[in-house]
């Protein structure tokens, strides 16, 4: 007696052809997944190609500060040392510490200056930044001497006025601030890798395309007291980056060393290499607590860094 084959039976060759065509159709019609942004929860699984990045077990708290930074050196580079009366506007974070590039650029999380050249020493100036289809406008006022008004990490993106001081020879320069735009500008600029900057005062106008530099680092974002967030940036896409809680210890040789207590969380770097981490409430209370007399407070740091993530001043 011969048992009849089921009605769905097909020769092996036909099965293979069917599977191939089905797979091909799926691939042709698959919608690419958008790169994650810092507003979305990052993938919990790091890329298998990314190496493990470890937290330092300890580091010295007395680290050297940043190098010199001024608009005049940038102007010399932009004009290649030749006389040039063309109006210019730019922001600068100084030289790339890694030496990877010599371009005048805005470094995320780095000390930065607003620079203007060829604009009137008196009278209002309007600076405009465009990023991600959005426009950010800042009133700029030339002054004889900069005031002690506090800066914000999202200056040039919050609408607050900024002062610039006359440095002579047509150069106007602001005070320092840490360049870290708030959302959505942060993600828009990181995804593009640059932003457009323009300035005008009467008939005097200038426009520049400013590259974004992404050094490896982490910094508390503006509004830290309310949102408890830090930006982590510059690591390879797909890398898992741990965040650690460190306690200060005084050593016999006079050094103050931050010693790792525990890991408090981690982020996975999206394609644009900027992620945002929300500090757990208990950790925020620990690092916000007033230290005992003569002691340094506990702090956070990210993998591969040898410095604390300090809250905005």
232, 241 in Cβ contact below 8 A? yes
Residue 213, strand partner residues: 107
- The confidence score (pLDDT) of residue 99 equals 62
- The confidence score (pLDDT) of residue 7 equals 43
| Structure-token pair, residue 252 | 């016999």
| 95 CA to centre of own chain | 16
CATH topology of domain 71-213: Immunoglobulin-like (2.60.40)
- Taking only the tens place, the pLDDT of each residue in 281-291 is 999 999 998 88
Name the range with the highest mean pLDDT among 2-11, 99-108, 143-152: 143-152
- The confidence score (pLDDT) of residue 43 equals 45
Residue 148 scores a pLDDT above 90: no
- The confidence score (pLDDT) of residue 313 equals 67
Q: pLDDT band at 103, cuts 50/70/90?
A: confident
The whole-number average pLDDT for the span 80-87 is 83
- Taking only the tens place, the pLDDT of each residue in 214-228 is 999 999 999 999 999
Residue 11 scores a pLDDT above 90: no
- The confidence score (pLDDT) of residue 9 equals 42
Residue 257, strand partner residues: 60, 249
- The confidence score (pLDDT) of residue 4 equals 43
The whole-number average pLDDT for the span 191-211 is 97
The better pLDDT of the pair 200, 254 is held by 200
CA distance 268 to 233: 10
Among 42-46, 215-219, 231-235, 253-257, which stretch is predicted with the lowest mean pLDDT? 42-46
The better pLDDT of the pair 46, 247 is held by 247
- Taking only the tens place, the pLDDT of each residue in 156-170 is 999 999 999 999 999
Of the candidates 34, 37, 44, 50, which has an alpha carbon nearest to the alpha carbon of residue 236? 50
Say what the pTM is. 0.78
3-state helix, strand, coil in the chain (%, to 5): 15, 35, 50
């Amino acid at each position: 007696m011969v048992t009849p084959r089921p009605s769905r039976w097909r020769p092996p060759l036909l099965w293979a052809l069917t599977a191939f065509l089905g797979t091909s159709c799926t691939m042709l019609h698959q919608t690419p997944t958008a790169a994650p942004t810092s507003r979305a929860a990052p993938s919990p699984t790091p890329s298998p190609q990314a190496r493990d990045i470890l937290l330092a077990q300890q580091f010295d708290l007395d680290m050297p500060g940043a190098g010199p930074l001024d608009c005049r050196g940038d102007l010399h580079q932009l004009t290649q040392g030749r006389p040039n009366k063309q109006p210019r506007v730019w922001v600068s974070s100084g030289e790339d510490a890694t030496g990877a590039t010599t371009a005048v650029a805005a470094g995320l999380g780095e000390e930065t200056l607003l620079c203007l050249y060829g604009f009137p020493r008196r009278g209002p100036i309007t600076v405009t930044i465009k990023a991600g289809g959005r426009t950010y406008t800042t009133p700029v006022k030339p002054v004889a001497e900069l005031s002690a008004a506090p800066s914000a990490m999202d200056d040039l993106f919050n609408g607050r006025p900024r002062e610039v001081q006359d440095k002579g020879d047509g150069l106007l320069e602001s005070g320092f601030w840490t360049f870290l735009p708030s959302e959505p500008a942060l993600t828009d600029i990181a995804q593009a890798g640059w932003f457009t900057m323009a300035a005008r005062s009467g008939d005097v106008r200038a426009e520049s395309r400013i590259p974004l530099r992404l050094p490896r680092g982490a910094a508390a974002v503006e509004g830290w007291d309310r949102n408890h967030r830090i930006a982590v940036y510059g690591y390879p896409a797909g890398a898992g980056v741990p965040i650690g809680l460190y306690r200060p210890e005084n050593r016999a040789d006079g050094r103050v060393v931050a010693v790792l207590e525990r890991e408090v969380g981690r982020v996975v770097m999206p394609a644009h290499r900027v992620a945002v981490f929300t500090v757990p409430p208990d950790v925020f209370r620990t690092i916000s607590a007033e230290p005992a007399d003569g002691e340094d407070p506990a702090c956070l740091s990210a993998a591969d860094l040898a410095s604390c993530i300090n809250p905005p001043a």
